[in-house]
Amino acid sequence: MYTYIGTMHNQRLNWPEPPKNVLIIQKIHDSSVLPCFIQLTQWLLMEKQMVVLVEKNVLKDIRNRAEPLFKQLRDKLLVFEVDRNNRDFGKEVDLVICLGGDGTLLYASSLFQSKVPPVMAFHFGSLGFLAPFEFESFKQQVTKVIEGKAGVTLRSRLSCSVHKQETNTLVDQSNQFVVLNEVVLDRGLSPFLCNLDLYIEGKYITTVQGDGLIVSTPTGSTAYAVGAGASMVHPSVPAIMVTPICPHSLSFRPIVVPAGIQLKILVSKDSRGSAWVSFDGRQRQELNIGDELNVTTSVHPIPSICFKDPMTDWFSSLGECLHWNERKKQQAIVLYDNLDFDDNDDHSSPIHQNGVEKR
């Protein structure tokens, strides 16, 4: 188990008891990650005496099974299997280590629909906005985490459920989702605009006419939402972003609403076609006319372990990954003191000092 100490914007990980069970989530179908996975696993098993869990598909991967070093470790690994209906995996896993990119962290989030263990993400992907750690110094970094010397960002998630008009009931539990980035409604292959009625706390707000709508967390504000014109919001801010996709109105701007409110998005009865919904880019499904999506803030955030601290990590990612506000610096104006001008001097001409033209 684990707790947090410090303020909301500067929390640190605290282990009442040393962590024992660590789940390693490896980027699948990428052979470049395998040597690092083996190195990390050997170190955790041999030196740290920890129990290492992996998913079943890691053990079945042909590339892994052909690696001699992996064969030596295979029997020492425990299998982590998902059973969303009956088990709380947050009680079985003390720490999650991701070897991949931002997509690997999103996948890790999808495995834990309720309480999430602290997640440490190593960057092996193309962007690495959510994965601040480099693998070269993994021993020092993982040791700091195990010893409780790491900062944590509590990244809020969204709890989503679909209501089908034809059955007038919620769909089964397998179609309820918790997302870290965003839930997206779009028109799919339809040639018609989306017509989506937006309700907040049960009150009708507006009808979205365009290509769709993005409902995102602060973490997701720097993903699809920022590409659609939303503001970038620090993950510690308790908020939900509502961003239209290509709205057919110049005045329809993105909005930010308080975390915890209830949003309902209904495929309008006047819509010419259906809409499609996806959850962190997964489990895409069709919503027919009259179907609705309900969204609110989940009570189970994802504790993302910081490389330095929540503020430094976020602004570093903005600069390194999105090149935020990068441009050549404007040159400073050079001032010259104690200069004497004759009455006949042309003050509009370049300044001369000691016979040298200054520009």
> Is 61 labeled as catalytic in the residue annotation?
no
**Which strands sit side by side in the sheet containing 275-279, from one edge to the other?**
255-258, 239-245, 212-216, 182-186, 275-279, 282-287
Which among 61, 102, 197, 291 is annotated as catalytic?
A: 102
Return the structure tokens found at 300.
């189970």
Encode burial over 153-173: b for 16+ CB neighbours within 10 A, e otherwise: bbbbbbbbebbeeeeeeeeee
**Which CA distances in Å does 309 have to 19, 51, 104, 190, 225?**
21, 28, 21, 45, 24
- Element of type H or E holding 43: helix 34-46
Neighbouring C-beta atoms of residue 132, cutoff 10 Å: 23
Is residue 296 within 8 A of residue 260, CB to CB? The reply is: yes
Distance (Å, whole) CA 258 – CA 241: 9
Q: Which residue in this structure is represented by tokens 């909005």?
A: 255
The residues annotated with a catalytic role in the active site are: 102
